[in-house]
Structure formats: structure tokens, C-alpha cells
Amino acid sequence: MKEQKLKELLEKMTLSEKIAQMVQIQGRLLNAGSEEAVTGPLGELNIDPAMLDNIGSVLNAEGAENLKRLQSEYAKRSAHGIPLLFMLDIINGYKTIFPIPLAQGCSWSPELLSAAAGAAAREAASSGLHVNFSPMVDVVRDARWGRVMETAGGEDPFLGELYAEAVVRGYQRGLSDTEGAMAACVKHFAGYGAAEAGREYNTVDITERRLRNEYLPPYKAAVDAGCEMVMTAFNIVDGIPMSANTHLMRDVLRGEWGFDGVVVSDYAAVRELIPHGAAENDADAAKKALLAGVDIDMGTNIYANNLESLVLGGEVPESLIDEAVLRILHLKNKLGLFESPFRGASEEQELKLHRCVEHLSLARETAARSCVLLKNDAGVLPLKPGTKIALIGPYANSELLCGMWSHVLGAPQGTVTLERGLLERLPDESLSSAPGCDILEECEQVPSAFQYKYPAPLSKPEEQWQKALDTAKQADVVVLALGEHCMQTGEGASRTDPRLPQKQRKLAREIAALGKKTVVVVFCGRPLDLSELSAEVDSLLIAWFPGTEGGHAVADILLGERSPVGRLNMSFPRAAGQCPVYYNHYSTGRPRQEKNRFTTGYSDCENEPLYPFGFGLSYTNFKYGGLILDKNVLTPNSTITLRVVVENVGERPGEETVQLYIRDICGSVVRPVKELRAFERVELQAGEKKVISFSITEQMLKFWTADMVFCAEPGRFEAMAGPNSENLLIEAFEYREE
């Protein structure tokens, strides 16, 4: 439809019909029967049926047949036949489940994340979905927070920018002219990952400068990539809840960044202005959210039941309603919904695309590249042919490999367990398996989310325990498959003690005491405190929640079919007490000196994490040398070329991720001790060496200064190159303005 036609449509709409476009409810309430309309959740929602007949969007409904029916029935009731938008959280795949985003981010491969996003969009679009509440790009530095699992950039804004752009591009490729794409909704604007103490929905209180330097870049990268929607976060920033934060939404998001898409609140975040203490009542909440720039009120009746009287009472201008509604209509038009309200919804396409061979193969590749090998003493991995293997632990044959969000609409189908992945490749007599214990004790279960129901506990637990020990005794190598439960991660799952469940830690101790070569595969959604475990075993592989093809991917690595290439995007703490722990920290006035108590640190723990940002092993070894800069003075229009020699000094080919960090020694505000600014993945045969080059530019030095200007400041810098954020070769250079 032409833009002018949209304006004409808007002029035909009544105020109430316009407001209805700004309301979003659960899809299941759309065609609720009369009893639900009166007594159940719809009754509680208390929205006028006439308004319901014209609402603009729903969430959490899916399926081609279902959404075509909903759209058809809705069209008969709505005043102007404006199609509904269907939105859903597709965090790591729709029916083919990919590794959780935190895992995918360890691939250091934006193109892989873009491909995975494209596959998810094609599958979801075939089921009639239009908007994906993804990517979540919050920078996260506290492993106690359950939602670290949802972000690919981890603790680093630079990685976060690269992934935000790649994933938006993957979802929205050809949005206007292909039915296999989806509109992306970047979230949660802004700073949700900085919740104090890692406690869910807790206070965020950071300066605007720190927000701009360390938390906003990934959101901006998503907007610059053309992301169609932005979701406001639950938290406050500088004392103002994001859904009422006029400065960040109208001055920064729309003013500075030029975002002209739709802003949707997070679930009930408009109503939550009241318990935040930022709004007196529903009407006040509606007014503040509208003035700040929230276009769609997700999940409540605050807009539905208050905006009309606010306009008629002269408290808010109708022009703000018109702007919001025009943005919503514009998005529906961009998706082609006026001409084809069913868009890509097709049962035939669902059968063809859902868990198709191409997507499963991509999921296997992504899962393999997401795994991170943290320890491999004596080269126990890869497992040698002919080895008798005991696969022990609650994740030995568990299908719970897809992460919390994949359960939004029911358990994923067809997940490949680790046992199946190994059995498909090993002769039967070489693999024996026993769970040993449950993932969680009943007392450890967290309130389940959505439709998830915890499986029944193992019967005869003592016998199972003993069987596991006996099975291990018969083997050459024990592979322990352990992990936190997927419902211990994601939203509403902050933990004060981010370790493996107690029973599993006990099982690991007793297995390790047998004296066998022991490999541990950890399935998790956050950097766990693995201090105790890592000291007891020979090899440690982080598989995260690897998705539908997890069992195949982990088996590929354990058996040497593929080498591990993952590098950490988030530091692993030595203890919860270290959190938040991250590589790009400030120096402080008393940098750590061993044996000097009056320097920054703890009396009972090192400052450094157990495993640092950027760290990961492969099945070979790499040596770095010959770091050189072609000049030592950088000016605005020049570049410095940094060269470093990387050599494969092992017996197997391998892929290395060479990382470039920059340090600004002294600035008008203090600067992090280092910041990732570039990286390059390189394949090296055994014995091969390559010169890797990076261009250092003024752009890499820019930050928000004491005067709140985004620029580079003259002075001394260090360029660092190496395999991770701790093991680096360093060369100094200077930046001069001329």
C-alpha cells in the first residue's frame, strides 16, 4: 500500500481504533470462548470487546493453520480490516533449535549467526510469524544473571555490535519481498544486563557515559542494520524506567540514531511504572509511556483503557497517537500484510522447512563451533579409536539440550542426545552409559516457565549411583555429562551460587577418585563456577545448551571428527563472589600487586577469572611471535598496520582466533585496561605459520569523553595481539591529532 494510502487509512480511523493498534495481548486470548472472556485472563485484562476487535498485534501464537484462522476471524470483526501482527520469542531457532545465543557467540563467526537467524526466520515465517523478539544484545558481565544465555556478545560491546548487525541481517534479509524473512526486535533497550548483583529485574544504575561507551553500541548496531523494532527494558536507567525514559528513547534512539521503527514495551513494563514508583496510577503510566515514545503496550490494558481519556482531556496530543499508529501501520505495510495478510503462512512450507536437512546440518555446524575446550591435560581428547568409554551423568542421554526459551511453545522435537551421537559412531561394545543421578534434586527445582514440566526423578537412585560408579570402573576413559538445568537459566533464573547442582558435584568427585582419565562435558547457559570440577578432571568441554543437533556436535568433537574452535565471550568466575568479573575493566588507582594487601583484590581469591574472555583450546597448539607495528604514531587519516606471526606447533591442523586489543593509557575519563577491537580466524596446518595483519585506525580509539563528545583523544596507547584477553604481545604507539 502506498504511504499516502496509510495516511488516508489513519484519517478514517476513530481515536479508539487507533489506540487499539497500540495494544498487544496473548494470542490465546484473541478468540477466547465466552467463559474466558468473562472470568479467565481475558476477563482480568478487562479490555472493551470493541477494542479487542481492533487490536494491533498478539504474541505467543504460532502455526500456519492457527494464525491463518486467527487472521481470518479477526478480519471479519475489525473495523478496517487492518491485519494483525504476530510476534514471538524465537531466541535460538524455531523448530530446528540452535545453540543458545551465548554459545553461538563463542564461535566468533558473525556470518554463522546470520545464517542461523535466517534459518529460524524461514521456519517461523512458514508458521505465519511476522516479528521476532530477538536479538537480545544486552552486554552481560554477571554470571549470576539467568539471561546471560540470551546474548551472543557476552561481556564485550564490540562482539555485541558485530553479532547484532549479523543477526538482524539474518532475520530481515529481503524483508519486504520474501515471505521467509521476519522483522527483528532488538532488546532490551537499554542496559538490562547491568542489573545490580545479577538479580533479575533489579536496579540498573550506571552513568550515561558508561551506558554509551559499554552498553549502547550493540543496540545502535542493530538499529543501523535496519532493525524494525526496539523493545524497552524492565529496568531503570538514571532513576527512570526505560518505558518512560524520554531522553534515551526520543533524544538518543530516535534523535541521535534516527530510529523510525516501532517501540514495543517489554511484557507489562508500562504497568510496572507504578511499582517502580515512577507513575501514580494507570493513567499516569499511560501518559508517561506515550510521551516517552512507547508505541505498543505489551500485555496490559494500560493504553487500551486510558489513552482515549488522556487525549480527550487534553493531557496528551492526539498527534502522538497518530505517529505511533502510523509506525505500526508502516511495519504491517512493509511486511506486505495489507495485500497478503497470511504472508508466508503455509502448512506445506512448514513440512518442508521445519527441521529440514539443511537447517539441521547448520545447527550441527553451529553447535560444534560454539563448544569451548577449557582444559585438555595429557591430550585425553580427542578420544582414541578402540577406547572403552563410560558415558556417565544426567546429561548422558538427556534431550534437555535446547535452553529455556525453546520451551516457550512446548518441548523441542528430535533433539539428539550425546549418547545417541556417540553410539552412531562407535561400535556398541566400546560405549556404556549410566545417568548416575538426576540433573536436579526436587528441592533445587526453580519455578518452571511456560509449559515446562520437570521429568520424574530416577527410580532407585542409590542403585543408579552405584551402577554409574561400576560402569566407570570398567572403562578406559570416563566422559561425565553434567550441567545445570535449562530452567536454571533464562528469564527469572538468577542464582547466587552458579555452580553445578550438588549431587552432580558429588558424582564428579567420586568418579574422579577412581583414577581413570576423565573428560567432563558441561551443559549450561551461563559461565558456571567450575573451580572444584576443573581441578579434578583431565579435560573440560563447555557445550552450553547446544540445541537439536547437540549430541552429534559434541560427539564430533569428542571423537576428533571436528576440532574445538570456540573462544569464550564471557569470563568464567572462580567464585560467585567474583561476579561481575570481566576483561574490559578499569585499572583502579591501586592495580593488583601480589603480597600487597593495599591493592585492589580479595584476601581469599585472585582477581582474574578461572577462564578469561577470548580463551579456548584446540587439538593443537599455537605459538605467537614477531609482533610489529609499521609505525608508532597514528594520526586522524592514517592507519598503523600491526603484524603478528602465528605458528601451529602441534601435530594436528587447527583454527586459531587471533585477537587484537587496544588500551588507551590515559584519557579525560579512565579507560578499560583493554578493549577487543578486531579478530581474525585462521586455519593452520601442523607446522604452518602465517603473518596476521590488523589495521589500527582512529575509529578504534573513539569513546565518550569527559565532555560527552564521541572522539579519540591524543596520547599513549598499547596494541596487543594474542589468543585470548590475558595472553598478549604488546607494542606501544601514540595518537596525535596532527
Residues classed as catalytic = 266
- Draw the binding track, 20-59, toward ligand GLC (x: CB under 6 A; -: no contact): ---------------------------------------x
The residues in 74-93 that bind ligand GLC, with binding defined as CB under 6 A, are 89
Q: Name which of residues 449 to 508 contact ligand GLC (CB under 6 A).
A: 491
CB closer to ligand GLC, 263 vs 426: 263
Q: By CB under 6 A, name the one of 133, 523, 582, 613 that touches ligand GLC.
A: 133
Q: Give the number of other CB atoms < 10 A from CB of residue 381.
A: 26
Q: Which is nearer to ligand GLC, 98 or 133 (CB)?
A: 133
All residues at 6 or more sequence positions from 584 whose CB lies less than 8 Å from its CB, including other chains: 155, 156, 214, 613, 672, 673, 674, 675, 676
> Residue 189, interface with ligand GLC (CB under 6 A)?
no
Contact between 266 and ligand GLC per CB under 6 A: yes
Q: In the Cβ-directed half-sphere of 602, how many Cα atoms lie within 13 Å?
A: 13
Question: Closest separation between CB of residue 411 and ligand GLC, Å?
Answer: 18
2-10 CB contacts, 8 Å cutoff, 24+ apart: 3/330, 3/333, 6/326, 6/329, 6/330, 6/333, 7/326, 9/80, 9/82, 9/329, 10/322, 10/325, 10/326, 10/329
Q: Are 91 and 136 in contact (CB under 8 A)?
A: yes
In b/e form, how buried is each residue of 584-613, taking b as 16+ CB within 10 angstroms? bbeeeeeeeeeeeeeeebeeeeeebbbbbb
Of 130, 187, 287, 526, which one interacts with ligand GLC (CB under 6 A)?
A: 187
101 and 137 in contact (C-beta within 8 Å)? no
In the complex with ligand GLC, the residue whose CB is nearer, 147 or 375, is: 147
Cell numbers that stand for 273 in this block? 511504572
Hey, which residues does 681 pair with through a beta bridge?
657
User: Closest CB to ligand GLC among 267 and 624?
Assistant: 267
- Spatial distance between the Cα atoms of 338 and 272, rounded to a whole number of angstroms: 34
Binding mask 52-71 for ligand GLC (x = CB under 6 A): -------x------------
User: What minimum distance in Å lies between the beta carbon of 31 and ligand GLC?
Assistant: 20
**In the complex, minimum distance from the CB of residue 89 to ligand GLC, in angstroms, rounded to a whole number:** 5
Residue closer to ligand GLC (CB basis): 208 or 491: 491
Cα dist. 655→152, 685, 692 in Å? Answer: 20, 9, 13
The residue assigned the cell 481492533 is 54
Are β-strands 640-648 and 622-629 bridged in parallel, bridged antiparallel, or unpaired?
antiparallel
CB of 297 to ligand GLC, least distance (A): 13
Q: What are phi and psi of 58, to 5 degrees?
A: -135, 160
* Amino acid at residue number 621: N
Residue of 225, 130, 91, 144 lying closest to 484 (CA atoms): 144
**Nearer Cβ to ligand GLC (186/422):** 186
What is the closest distance, in whole angstroms, from the C-beta atom of residue 363 to ligand GLC in the complex? 22
Q: Of residues 267, 303, 624, 661, which one binds ligand GLC by CB under 6 A?
A: 267
Smallest distance from ligand GLC to CB 91, Å = 8
Are residues 30 and 54 in contact, defined by beta-carbon separation less than 8 angstroms?
no
What's the min distance (Å) between Cβ of 359 and ligand GLC? 23
**DSSP summary character for residue 362:** H
Is residue 49 reached through a cis peptide bond, with omega within 30 degrees of 0 on the bond before it? no
Decide if residue 704 touches ligand GLC (CB under 6 A).
no
DSSP string of 370-396, one letter each residue: H-EEEEEGGG-PSPPTT--EEEESTTS
Residue 59 CB, nearest approach to ligand GLC (Å): 6
Q: How far apart are CA 250 and CA 9, in angstroms?
A: 26
Min dist CB 185 to ligand GLC, Å, is: 8
Decide whether 89 or 556 has the Cβ nearer to ligand GLC.
Answer: 89
Residue 350 cell numbers, joined: 512448514
CB of 269 to ligand GLC, least distance (A): 8
Nearer to ligand GLC, 193 or 435 (CB): 193
Closest C-alpha among 683, 674, 666, 667 to residue 721: 674
Sole residue written with cell 512446548:
410
CA–CA gap between residue 506 and residue 719 (Å, rounded): 45
Beta carbon nearer to ligand GLC, 235 or 539: 235
Residue 719: strand, helix, or coil: strand
Q: What is the DSSP letter of 444?
A: G
- Residues 348-387 binding ligand GLC (CB under 6 A) are none
Which CB atom, from 158 or from 405, has the smaller least distance to ligand GLC? 405
The alpha carbon torsion through 54, 55, 56, 62 (nearest 10 deg) reads -110
**160 touches 675 (CB < 8 A):** no
Nearer to ligand GLC, 101 or 154 (CB): 101
Please give the residues from 538 up to 577 whose contact with ligand GLC meets the rule CB under 6 A: none
Find the shortest distance in angstroms from Cβ 644 to ligand GLC. Answer: 40
What is the contact surface with ligand GLC in residues (CB under 6 A)?
59, 89, 133, 187, 266-267, 491
